[in-house]
Chain A
Amino acid sequence: DADVTQTPRNRITKTGKRIMLECSQTKGHDRMYWYRQDPGLGLRLIYYSFDVKDINKGEISDGYSVSRQAQAKFSLSLESAIPNQTALYFCATSDPNPGQGALGSYNEQFFGPGTRLTVL
């Protein structure tokens, strides 16, 4: 989806290096997510943010950190990359249904094109 962009698209790095993956969106959505995809494991949630002041850990947050610089930007950092962090990383956004309040967030998520990260 061209409304959600990720940079870089591909990155090869070495063990111990610090890496930042960036996500930007023009959808005006409050909610943003970072997932990693590994073959045979599907998508696993790393972190998610419901607004610039709200950040939550997902199921595999160890070794990662995030920053929500603005409503439109959500960055994922690997402070000291290790080989088992080699994966495809996706950013996604969503927006709650304005008529449903806090429980109304059943709208689908919109995904960026992904960043393929290789840690040697």
Chain B
Amino acid sequence: AQSVAQPEDQVNVAEGNPLTVKCTYSVSGNPYLFWYVQYPNRGLQFLLKYITGDNLVKGSYGFEAEFNKSQTSFHLKKPSALVSDSALYFCAVRDRGSTLGRLYFGRGTQLTVWP
């Protein structure tokens, strides 16, 4: 069965400091991995994805994520946080071998960046 765990409900960081939002996954085959962000009263926006190739993936707004197969993790990172990065972040996974194409989402991590 496919599943995603985001072990932290909340992450708090000071502006200018690096941030990490954690994600671990479980799939029966090889994964496709995604990060989405949700700002208040908005839908989810795509940030980045890992499909294949380089384990370090760069996405929108200066975010990046590193795929670690041995640890089944796909943590989201940013070298220097901004107050405007404060939002709800979702990790998602799908099984590469599945023909259904559906995503499984984590429960979300609320990121707060204070000035």
Interface size class of B (residues with CB under 8 A): 20 to 34
Residue A20, interface by CB 8 Å: no
Residues of B contacting A: mostly: loop
Which residues in window 43-98 of B have CB below 8 A to A? 43-46, 49, 51, 90, 94, 96-97
* B2-37 interface bits toward A, Cβ cutoff 8 Å, 1 = contact, 0 = none: 000010010000000000000000000000101010
Specify which of A42, A44, A103, A108 is in contact with B99 (CB 8 Å cutoff).
A103
Known: A96-B101, A106-B32. A112 touches B43 (CB 8 A): yes
Known: A43-B90, A102-B99, A106-B94. A114 touches B51 (CB 8 A): no
Q: List 22 A-B contacts (CB under 8 A).
A: A1-B43, A40-B9, A40-B107, A42-B106, A42-B108, A43-B44, A43-B90, A43-B105, A90-B44, A103-B96, A103-B99, A106-B51, A108-B49, A109-B44, A109-B46, A109-B103, A110-B46, A111-B36, A111-B43, A111-B44, A111-B45, A114-B43
What residues of B have a CB within 8 angstroms of the CB of A40 in the complex?
A: 9, 107-108
Residues of A participating in the B interface, judged by any CB pair closer than 8 Å:
1, 4, 31, 33, 35, 40-45, 48, 50, 56, 58, 90, 92, 94, 96, 102-103, 105-106, 108-114
